[in-house]
Amino acid sequence: MKAVARKDKDALNRFMADEFTLTSAYSTGDIITRDEFLKNIQAVKQNELSFYNATVGIYGDVAILKARIKDSYTMNGEDRSGDYLITDVWVKREGRWQIVTRHSSLPMKAQSKG
C-alpha cells in the first residue's frame, strides 16, 4: 500500500504477480487486472492508510492476509475514504512473495437497537 501511495511502479512490479486481480469494494462484479490496477493508481490521491486487526496465515508457499484498513483517499476526484475489509493471497515464487489477488469489501453498518 505504501508503494501504491508513492505510485512506485518498480516496487509494484516486484510485488504483484502477472496474474494479479482485484475485486474492489466499488466493483459491480468486474475483476480488475494488474495492468488496469497499475493504470488506476495514477488517479489515486492517498492521504492516510492504516491496517488493524491483521492476521496472516502461511500454508506452505501460500500466505493469506486478512485485515481491516482505514483508508483516506480520492480517485478521480471522488472521495472513497472509509473502513475496508481486505483479503490478500500471496504466493512464494523463486524465494520472493507476490500478491496474486485482493478482495476488498465494505463492512456492514451496525444495526441500531431500540
CATH number of 29's domain: 3.10.450.50
In a domain, 112, yes or no: no
Long-range contact list for 17-23, CB < 8 A, 24+ apart?
Answer: 17/91, 17/93, 17/98, 17/99, 17/100, 19/100, 20/98, 20/99, 20/100, 20/101, 20/102, 21/100, 21/101, 21/102, 22/101, 22/102, 22/103, 22/104, 23/101, 23/102, 23/103, 23/104
In a domain, 23, yes or no: yes
Provide the domain count of the chain.
1
Residue-wise pLDDT for 80-111, tens only, equals: 767 889 999 999 999 999 999 999 888 877 66
**Which residue range(s) make up the domain with 74?**
2-105
Predicted TM-score (pTM) of this structure = 0.82
